[in-house]
């Protein structure tokens, strides 16, 4: 399965988390994953889950893995 970055976003526990766990062919819904913020969460792939706020720790880790600075980090 194509994955442009070594992580995927997973809505769980009221936030959008990032994980490097392999993405199942059917997606993450109901699957427990280890997140970049070191939590074990069970994915909730509901429509509203994708509107939850992004976990700040996972966001920082995802930017680091992608090699892209976070907005407002002074890297102008």
Going residue by residue through the chain, which has 76 residues, state the pLDDT in tens, using 9 for 90 and above. 667 889 999 999 999 999 999 988 888 888 999 999 999 999 998 889 989 999 999 999 999 999 999 987 555 5
Classify residue 33: in a domain, yes or no.
yes
Q: What is this structure's pTM?
A: 0.85
Classify residue 75: in a domain, yes or no.
no
Q: What is the number of structural domains in the chain?
A: 1
Extract the tokens encoding 23.
């993405």
Classify residue 2: in a domain, yes or no.
no
Longest distance between any two alpha carbons in the chain, whole Å: 40
Classify residue 12: in a domain, yes or no.
yes
Q: Which domain holds residue 24?
A: 8-66
- Can you give the pLDDT at residue 75? 54
Classify residue 71: in a domain, yes or no.
no
The count of C-alpha atoms lying within 13 angstroms of the C-alpha of 38, restricted to the half-sphere facing its C-beta, is 0
Classify residue 76: in a domain, yes or no.
no
């Amino acid at each position: 399965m194509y994955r442009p970055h070594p992580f995927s976003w997973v809505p769980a526990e009221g936030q959008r988390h990032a994980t490097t766990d392999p993405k199942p062919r059917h997606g993450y819904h109901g699957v427990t994953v280890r997140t970049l913020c070191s939590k074990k969460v069970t994915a909730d792939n509901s429509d509203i889950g994708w509107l939850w706020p992004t976990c700040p720790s996972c966001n920082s880790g995802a930017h680091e893995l992608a090699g892209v600075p976070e907005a407002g980090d002074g890297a102008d």
